[in-house]
Amino acid sequence: MFAYAQKKPNVLMIYVDDLGYGDLSTYGASKIQTPNIDAIAKSGIRFTNGHAAAATCTPSRYALMTGKYPFRKSGTGVLPGDAALIIDQNQLTLPKLFQQQGYQTAIIGKWHLGLGSQVEKNWNQDIKPGPLEVGYAYSYIFPATADRVPTVFLENHKVVALDKNDPIEVSYKQKIGTEPTGLENPELLKMKASPNHGHNQTIVNGIGRIGWMTGGKQARWVDEEITPTFVDKAVNYIKEHKSTPFFLSYHATEPHVPRMPSTMFKGKSGLGLRGDAILQLDHAVGQLIQALKDNGIYENTIVVFSSDNGPVLDDGYVDGAVTELNGHDPFAGMRGGKYSAFEAGTRVPFLISWPKQIKSNQVSAALVCQVDLLASFASYFKSKIEPQANLDSKNVLAALLGKDKKGRDYLVKSAYTFSILKDQYKYILPNKGPARNNQVNIELGNDPNDQLYDLSKDPAEKNNIASQNPELVKQLKEILLKETKK
């Protein structure tokens, strides 16, 4: 009993893809029910001011891994499927911190931080550096996004189920091989691509992808099997590591496009395939939590749940996300969405539970960001981070444990432009970029003028009060520019 009490907690990081603040019933969704995810909130804390560092995947993941704002490094935008690893192997990362503390570490799911040392790589040999070189002792991933080639899993350094006689080749420059593409053979598609998004290159499993690939026929995934595969790997991992502390990153693909959940979820939500994918995600979360319980380690496991960026409806495929929305509001009334500097881009579901230490049923408005997990866990372990690590990560451990209601002083977020959140105010730096992305039907937050919103009165960022508050604008802009120029 005593030994158990002394044991370091396991950490299960559930990091999901493009899930909106309004997509979960625990955040007020009424058209969809997510009981398993809601149970994390009931068991611990639901944050209402929790953020991804950026409004797309790669930069948010970079921040989560490194504790640095993604704009500190160029090349941290959305990566193609053949990109090289963008994390410096010498730098401290979240999984490395756990390794230093004697933890077993693993990532199962989406990666999207690049693989190998260059774009040109041989997918038929060991592919490195990758997750194993930046802190994970085990990995079972797909390289980029579910809509990008190569549509394969990698276990540690190798493509899973690769037939040496059918080598894989990948290109993002031009068509390779003779396989049909969505552009030339749309009649072969089981899910149509939206016009002009570009998801019309090599067809895999009846779905046009971004990028071209040839070979690797046996190794290609079937989309409907992605989540059952990841869940199976994660449940086994939990079972096999129940007696050593572990840090397990479960990086789900839902509800990113292409939304093609297992057949048993298709049509289940009544909200189209996007809603069905969310139900699949909820089911998967239930299985992971059950595995913790079955192995007797639930009480002493910290579960963190968050999303890499906000929601988008049409992100490249005609999948019913728009037409079957049925009044569901993934954006929770906020402005913007994925890609946007407005709040729906980066204010995301953020939950934490740890039955042994965190009181149940808490709601916290503390300002916390995924970039803070590194410094917060370092503080938990009393592990000293050298100042030359230059982290943007802040120690918000007390907020994460429910003991502090404030969190950070302020947070800088990046989309096309920069914004800063401080107290109830949100300031967005002027930017000449387009005001909206019409393809995805999302306002990006770009404006040639200063924007200032009082989120306590105006959470939807409708009423720009910059011209009435020049002093506050000046002050916030100064902090923001100082941060971005550091």
The residues of the shown chain that bind ligand NG6, judged by CB under 6 A, are 17-18, 56-57, 78, 112, 145, 147, 197-198, 210, 256-257, 309, 315-316
Whichever of 38 and 223 has its CB closer to ligand NG6, that residue is: 223
Based on the shown chain and the rule CB under 5 A, indicate whether residue 235 belongs to the binding site for Ca ion.
no
Q: How far is the CB of 243 from ligand NG6 (least distance, A)?
A: 35
User: Residue 463's CB: how many other CB atoms inside 10 A?
Assistant: 11
Does the N-terminal peptide bond of residue 70 adopt cis geometry, omega within 30 degrees of 0?
A: no
Which of 280, 278, 145, 316 is CA-nearest to residue 221? 145
Extract the runs of DSSP E, i.e. beta strands, from 354-398. Answer: 362-364, 368-369
Q: How far apart are CA 280 and CA 269, in angstroms?
A: 10
Q: How far is the CB of 304 from Ca ion (least distance, A)?
A: 17
Q: How far is the CB of 191 from ligand NG6 (least distance, A)?
A: 13
CB contact set of 145 (below 8 Å; sequence gap of 6+): 17, 57, 81, 110, 112, 210, 253, 256
Q: How far is the CB of 148 from ligand NG6 (least distance, A)?
A: 7
Residue 257 touches which of ligand NG6, Ca ion, none (CB < 5 to 8 A by kind)?
Answer: ligand NG6
Q: Report the DSSP pairing between strands 350-353 and 362-364.
A: unpaired
Stretch (H or E) spanning 50: strand 50-51
Stretch (H or E) spanning 106: strand 104-110
Whichever of 396 and 440 has its CB closer to ligand NG6, that residue is: 440
Does the N-terminal peptide bond of residue 255 adopt cis geometry, omega within 30 degrees of 0?
A: yes
Q: How far is the CB of 258 from ligand NG6 (least distance, A)?
A: 9
Residue 443 touches which of ligand NG6, Ca ion, none (CB < 5 to 8 A by kind)?
Answer: none
Residue 152 touches which of ligand NG6, Ca ion, none (CB < 5 to 8 A by kind)?
Answer: none
**Which residue of the chain is nearest Ca ion when measured via CB?**
57
Q: How far is the CB of 243 from Ca ion (least distance, A)?
A: 34
List % helix, strand, coil for the chain (3-state, nearest 5). Answer: 25, 20, 55
To which residue do tokens 């410096």 refer? 88
* CA–CA distances in Å: residue 33 to residues 27, 270, 276: 11, 11, 11
Q: How many CA atoms lie within 13 A of 275 on its CB side?
A: 22
Q: How far is the CB of 373 from Ca ion (least distance, A)?
A: 17
SS3 311: coil
Q: How far is the CB of 146 from Ca ion (least distance, A)?
A: 10
Whichever of 257 and 303 has its CB closer to ligand NG6, that residue is: 257
* CA–CA distances in Å: residue 277 to residues 200, 321, 326: 22, 11, 16
Four-point Cα dihedral 253, 254, 258, 262, nearest 10: 100
Whichever of 211 and 311 has its CB closer to Ca ion, that residue is: 311
The one-letter amino acid at 242: K
Whichever of 131 and 310 has its CB closer to Ca ion, that residue is: 310
Whichever of 147 and 443 has its CB closer to ligand NG6, that residue is: 147
Whichever of 144 and 304 has its CB closer to ligand NG6, that residue is: 144
Based on the shown chain and the rule CB under 5 A, indicate whether residue 276 belongs to the binding site for Ca ion.
no
Q: How far is the CB of 426 from ligand NG6 (least distance, A)?
A: 22
Number of residues that bind Ca ion (CB under 5 A): 5
Based on the shown chain and the rule CB under 5 A, indicate whether residue 18 belongs to the binding site for Ca ion.
yes
CB contact set of 257 (below 8 Å; sequence gap of 6+): 146, 147, 199, 315, 316, 317, 319
Q: Which of 10, 13, 15, 17 binds Ca ion (CB under 5 A)?
A: 17
Residues 161-220 that bind Ca ion (CB under 5 A): none
Q: How far is the CB of 54 from Ca ion (least distance, A)?
A: 10
Binding mask 294-313 for Ca ion (x = CB under 5 A): --------------xx----
Whichever of 147 and 450 has its CB closer to Ca ion, that residue is: 147
Whichever of 29 and 55 has its CB closer to ligand NG6, that residue is: 55
Report whether 72 contacts 412 (CB < 8 A).
no
Based on the shown chain and the rule CB under 5 A, indicate whether residue 343 belongs to the binding site for Ca ion.
no
Q: How far apart are CA 65 and CA 461, in angstroms?
A: 30
Based on the shown chain and the rule CB under 5 A, indicate whether residue 437 belongs to the binding site for Ca ion.
no
Can you read off the two tokens belonging to residue 365?
Answer: 């408005």
Whichever of 172 and 381 has its CB closer to ligand NG6, that residue is: 172
Report whether 277 contacts 134 (CB < 8 A).
no
Binding mask 36-65 for Ca ion (x = CB under 5 A): ---------------------x--------
Binding site for Ca ion (CB under 5 A): 17-18, 57, 308-309
